[in-house]
Structure 1
Amino acid sequence: MRNRELTNQDAGQKKGFDKKKWRERHYSHKFKVQQFDDRRKKKVLRKYYRELKYIQGEPQDPKASTSDFNHPSQRQPTQQKKMSATQKANLEFERIKQQKLDRKADLERKKAEKEQKLKEYREKKAERFKRLSKKTKKGQPVMKDRLEMLLEKIQKQCR
Structure 2
Amino acid sequence: MKKYFYIVIWILLLIFIGTVGYLCFSPNLPINLPADNHQISHIIIGKALVAYVPFQEIDQLGFWLNILMAVPLGIIIAVITKYQWKLKLLTLIGIVFGCLIELTQFILDNLLLAHRWVDINDVIANSLGFIIGYSLIKLINAKLFSK
TM-score of the superposed pair, with normalisation by structure 2: 0.24
Bigger radius of gyration, 1 or 2? 1
Structure showing greater relative contact order (alpha-carbon pairs closer than 8 Å, 6 or more residues apart) = 2
